[in-house]
Amino acid sequence: MDIISIKNRFGIIGNAPALNHAISIAERVSSTNLTVLITGESGVGKEVFSHIIHQLGVRKHNPFIAVNCGAIPEGTIDSELFGHEKGSFTGAHEARKGYFESVNGGTIFLDEVGELPLGTQARLLRVLESGEYIRVGSSKVIKTDVRLIAATNVNLQEAVRAGKFREDLYYRLSTVPIYIPPLRERGEDIYLLFRKFCIDFAERNKIQPVKLVDDAKELILKYPWPGNVRQLKNVAEQVSILAMEKDVSANELKQIVPDITDNRLPALAEARYQSGGSSFTEREILYKLIFDLKKDLNDLKQFVYDVTKHQVNGSEMPAYREPLVNNNNTTLEKPLLLAHPANQPVVLQDKKAYDDSETIEESLSIAEKERELIVKSLRKHRNKRKDAATDLGISERTLYRKIKEYGIEL
């Protein structure tokens, strides 16, 4: 099946080269049983590619299930994936099949696979290598024949280096990697998708679809769309229902969606997702800005010192030429004794003390800064984890794991 046919069948809009390349890889790997790792930012449509691989493959008539690993509590994820026996833990009133047992012969799509706990990662690795697993609370080995497709919006190589993801599992998952480009890198695809969403919304609600004039079109093409296709769809529906005129101008678009004028340059310059390479999170960018600001402050202090050597309170200060004797009864070679107009000396420290001084930066450890932010947020919200997690922009389960990882006492 060619790329155009695949786009028509699965409702994919766009002609960006990187998008076409991703579709081509998905089509070629669909006829195999190889494990696939789909990478890309949140909202780019990773789950659509999992359906492409399943529907075009030999397992298309067998079950398919999508599992959001980040939405399942850490204490129950093993039970959800591999099942459990009756009485294996509190609340296990009867035996239960896991996804790997109920979808035997089909395909499992694990979204946000980077959120899996390390213990679950070890179990998953065994399934991928041998096709075997054990239910929670059981000693019986069960065989399964499941194709695994995984997806993540984080850089797993960075997670491996941080000790948060198993290296052997990473290489086992990424047998065939597929990278889906963010919306801001797809050029004219942004406007094509916007028109598609507006037309679909108009048909569902039996209204006339809106159109963007040239200045409004230019505005949406320049916006970085951090939420990608999901965010674009929401904006298209907002504009469709709130626009006063069917031909929407840039000014009206700004009134409906004020954030559309925010170009978010730091995200564009530093935080683009790079598959297999280094990436910067918003938190890391913030740390970098803080460190740069501290460096600028040190430079400013040195500048003020240089100025005070020549001027105090706006008046030139003649150098005091007589030798000085310090506390050790030794004569300073280059005393910096300056006098103000009242002829009362102002003693500055020995120049050598400044020349030999070094600026000591704060720790650059991301982990330490992350721990500080978590502690501050917990104190701010009086140890209410839900509120603290919302403030930090992470899930409550992730915050709970971070608290245990850093040994934070509540």
Q: What angle do CA 5, 7, 8 make, to 5 degrees?
A: 65
Residue 247: what pLDDT?
92
- Average confidence (pLDDT) over 127-144: 92
Look at residues 305, 307, 312 and name the one whose alpha carbon lies nearest to residue 338. 312
Residue 379: what pLDDT?
87
Query: What b/e sequence results for 153-183 when a residue is b if at least 16 CB atoms lie within 10 Å of its CB, and e otherwise?
Result: bbbbbbbbeeebbbeebbebbbebebbbbbb
Residue 333: what pLDDT?
47
| DSSP H/E element including 82 | helix 77-82
pLDDT digits (tens, 9 = 90+) for 371-404: 888 888 888 888 888 888 888 888 888 888 888 8
How high is the mean pLDDT of the chain?
Answer: 82
Residue 282: what pLDDT?
57
pLDDT digits (tens, 9 = 90+) for 237-274: 999 999 988 899 999 999 998 888 765 444 443 444 44
Q: Where in 210-363 does DSSP place strands (E)?
A: 211-212, 247-248, 311-312, 315-316, 337-339, 345-347
Instruction: Compare 378 and 347 and report the one with higher pLDDT.
Output: 378
| DSSP H/E element including 65 | strand 64-68
Q: Cα-flanking dihedrals φ and ψ of residue 307, to 5°?
A: -70, -40
- Average confidence (pLDDT) over 357-373: 69
Say how far apart CA 263 and CA 247 lie, in whole Å. Answer: 23
Residue 236: what pLDDT?
95
- Average confidence (pLDDT) over 159-180: 95
Residue 166: what pLDDT?
95
Give percent of the chain with pLDDT exceeding 90: 55
**Residue 134 structure tokens:** 């054990």
Cβ neighbours of 19 (radius 10 Å) = 21
Distances (CA, A) of 118 to 58, 68, 125: 32, 16, 11
Distances (CA, A) of 280 to 57, 286, 361, 368, 386: 36, 10, 21, 17, 25
The answer to whether 108 and 147 are in contact (CB under 8 A) is: yes
Cβ neighbours of 340 (radius 10 Å) = 15
Residues facing 136 on adjacent strands: 84
Say how far apart CA 271 and CA 49 lie, in whole Å. Answer: 23
Q: What letter does residue 132 receive in the DSSP assignment? A: E
pLDDT digits (tens, 9 = 90+) for 67-97: 999 999 888 899 999 998 888 888 778 888 9
Hey, what domains does the chain have and what are their CATH numbers? 3-181 (3.40.50.300), 187-268 (1.10.8.60), 285-355 (no CATH), 365-406 (1.10.10)
Instruction: Compare 268 and 46 and report the one with higher pLDDT.
Output: 46
State pTM to two decimals. Answer: 0.63
Residue 30: what pLDDT?
95
Span of 100-104, 199-203, 206-210, 384-388 with lowest mean pLDDT: 384-388
Residue 385: what pLDDT?
84
**pLDDT at residue 32 above 70?**
yes
Cβ neighbours of 394 (radius 10 Å) = 17
- Average confidence (pLDDT) over 33-61: 95
Residue 4: what pLDDT?
93
**Residue 261 structure tokens:** 């004028």
C-alpha torsion sign, points 165, 279, 236, 178: negative
Cβ neighbours of 332 (radius 10 Å) = 14
Residues facing 345 on adjacent strands: 339
Place of tokens 């579709």: 23
Residue 381: what pLDDT?
85
Residue 276: what pLDDT?
42
From first CA to last CA, the distance across the chain in angstroms is: 57
Residue 171: what pLDDT?
95
* Amino acid of residue 122: A
Residue 103: what pLDDT?
94
**pLDDT at residue 12 above 70?**
yes
Say how far apart CA 307 and CA 301 lie, in whole Å. Answer: 10
Instruction: Compare 386 and 38 and report the one with higher pLDDT.
Output: 38
Q: What is the largest CA-CA distance in the chain?
A: 97
Say how far apart CA 400 and CA 384 lie, in whole Å. Answer: 11
- Average confidence (pLDDT) over 200-213: 93
Residues facing 312 on adjacent strands: 315
Residue 405 CB contacts under 8 Å (≥ 6 apart), including other chains: none
Residue 224 CB contacts under 8 Å (≥ 6 apart), including other chains: 184, 263, 264, 267, 268
Residue 88: what pLDDT?
81
pLDDT digits (tens, 9 = 90+) for 266-325: 444 344 444 444 444 555 666 667 767 777 777 777 777 776 766 555 554 444 444 444
